Amino acid sequence: MKPDILLMERMMPRIEKALNDAYTVHYLPDVPALPAIAPRIRAVVTGGGTGVPPDIMSALPQLGLIAINGIGTDAVDLNVARQRNIHVTTTPGVLTDDVADMAIALLLAVSRGIVKGDRYVRDGKWPQGASIPLGHRVTGRVMGIVGMGHVGRAIARRAEAFGMRVAYNDVREMTDVGFTFHAGLEDLARSSEILVVAAAGGAGSRGIVNAKVLEALGPEGTLINVARGSIVDEDALVTALQQGRIGAAGLDVFAHEPDVPPALLGMDNVVLQPHRASATVETRLAMGEMVLKNVAAFYAGEKLLSPVV
Ligand code: 8YV
């Protein structure tokens, strides 16, 4: 008999087929009554943003593995996982470049008015000679990166290739990067023209990009977030944009996904994405393969490929 697993979030059809071939997969939104199957569930597969809510975790008495299809562990209570000897795995390495690409894509989209330009052409405004504002160059600008981990570093490499100057903030200065370190986020924001959020989510980073940081970024400043919505005080961000205290934003992540503050929807100095930074065929396939290997290793009693707990 195939083992039962709980799937919290849809994956690529090819990955779901492989899961279905090896396991009896219960997709949570389609499960009529969780208590009936809960005692049989030893593994949960989920996304980084979705994680496993505490009530689901406590409803699964035999849970031994949470395989995250992503790198974020902030939506899983790792302390509870440790206490209950539940392994937690992620998919490190394979999504770094795509997430960094999304940061640059959002920056260019915001700075060069790519979305506005697309709408202008589609709406037939070009032949009418309607006016469209000029964009802003990125070359030579200062990018401040919040979080100099793998993703932060990949963004920094790209920024350098664009002729930008890079500074960063992290919990400590990194001796192996040559960029300017700012111990305080307000300092970083003050000396940056573009602030890119690439830090890990979770209790330690909740709301650290607050009203003061946004104020320091200033009316010409651009905020890019490809990490977690929780890192930015979203109400403060909306207010800062409404009052022109920052200039623009490119956002892939939000505090309460899939809900986006309605005020952002009407702002044309903001480019929005539905949490898509790792959403390429190549990367999602590589992530999915890692999930499959972790789940298979767990059921075989073998060493897990990429455990964090
Ligand atoms: C994915 C993420 O979109 O890696 C993460 O933590 O949030 C993203 O890469 C997600 O895991 C898939 O839902």
The arithmetic mean of pLDDT across residues 120-129, rounded, is: 98
Cα 250 to Cα 123: distance, rounded to the nearest angstrom: 23
172 belongs to the catalytic site? no
The arithmetic mean of pLDDT across residues 188-212, rounded, is: 98
47 lines ligand 1 (CB under 6 A): yes
Nearest CA-CA partner of 169 in 155, 153, 188, 197: 188
Mean pLDDT of the chain: 98
Q: What integer pLDDT is reported at residue 76 of this predicted model? A: 98
Nearest CA-CA partner of 204 in 187, 222, 228, 223: 228
Q: What integer pLDDT is reported at residue 241 of this predicted model? A: 98
Cα 184 to Cα 182: distance, rounded to the nearest angstrom: 5
| 78 confidence band (pLDDT: 50, 70, 90) | very high
| 243 confidence band (pLDDT: 50, 70, 90) | very high
For the chain, strand residue ranges (E) read: 4-7, 24-27, 41-47, 65-69, 87-89, 142-146, 165-169, 180-181, 194-197, 222-225, 248-251, 270-272
Q: What integer pLDDT is reported at residue 216 of this predicted model? A: 99
Q: What integer pLDDT is reported at residue 301 of this predicted model? A: 98
Ligand 1, residue 95: give the atom nearest the CA: 9
Cα-flanking dihedrals φ and ψ of residue 249, to 5°? -150, 150
| 228 confidence band (pLDDT: 50, 70, 90) | very high
72 lines ligand 1 (CB under 6 A): yes
The arithmetic mean of pLDDT across residues 167-190, rounded, is: 97
Q: Number of H helices and number of E strands within the chain?
A: 12, 12
Q: What integer pLDDT is reported at residue 158 of this predicted model? A: 98
275 belongs to the catalytic site? yes
Please give the CATH number for the structural domain made up of 4-93+281-300: 3.40.50.720
Question: What's the gap between Cα 156 and its chain centre?
Answer: 17
The arithmetic mean of pLDDT across residues 3-21, rounded, is: 98
Q: What integer pLDDT is reported at residue 203 of this predicted model? A: 95
Cα 147 to Cα 172: distance, rounded to the nearest angstrom: 10
pLDDT in tens, 280-301: 999 999 999 999 999 999 999 9
| Residue having the nearest C-alpha atom to atom 1 of ligand 1 | 70
Cα 126 to Cα 275: distance, rounded to the nearest angstrom: 31
| 70 confidence band (pLDDT: 50, 70, 90) | very high
Domains 4-93+281-300 and 96-272 equal at CATH topology level: yes
71: CA distance to ligand 1 center in Å? 6
* Architecture, CATH, for domain 96-272: 3-Layer(aba) Sandwich (3.40)
Question: What's the gap between Cα 253 and its chain centre?
Answer: 6
Q: What integer pLDDT is reported at residue 299 of this predicted model? A: 98
The arithmetic mean of pLDDT across residues 38-67, rounded, is: 98
26 belongs to the catalytic site? no
CB 246 within 8 A of CB 217: yes
The arithmetic mean of pLDDT across residues 215-233, rounded, is: 98
Q: What integer pLDDT is reported at residue 84 of this predicted model? A: 98
Catalytic site residue from 141, 228, 245, 284: 228
| 237 confidence band (pLDDT: 50, 70, 90) | very high
What are the extents of the domains in the chain?
A: 4-93+281-300, 96-272
The arithmetic mean of pLDDT across residues 24-33, rounded, is: 94
The arithmetic mean of pLDDT across residues 174-196, rounded, is: 98
Angle at the Cα of 244 from the Cα atoms of 104 and 248, rounded to 5 degrees: 10
Q: What is the pTM of this model?
A: 0.97
The arithmetic mean of pLDDT across residues 142-154, rounded, is: 98
Q: What does 9-67 look like in DSSP terms, one character per residue?
A: S---HHHHHHHHHHSEEEEGGG-S-HHHHGGGEEEEEEETTT---HHHHHT-TT--EEE
48 lines ligand 1 (CB under 6 A): yes
Provide the percentage of residues in the chain whose pLDDT is more than 90: 100
| 246 confidence band (pLDDT: 50, 70, 90) | very high
CB 99 within 8 A of CB 277: yes
DSSP 183: S
275 lines ligand 1 (CB under 6 A): yes
CB 36 within 8 A of CB 263: no
| Residue having the nearest C-alpha atom to atom 13 of ligand 1 | 47
Ligand 1, residue 74: give the atom nearest the CA: 6
The arithmetic mean of pLDDT across residues 208-221, rounded, is: 98
Coil, helix or strand at residue 116: helix
CB 45 within 8 A of CB 24: no
| 77 confidence band (pLDDT: 50, 70, 90) | very high
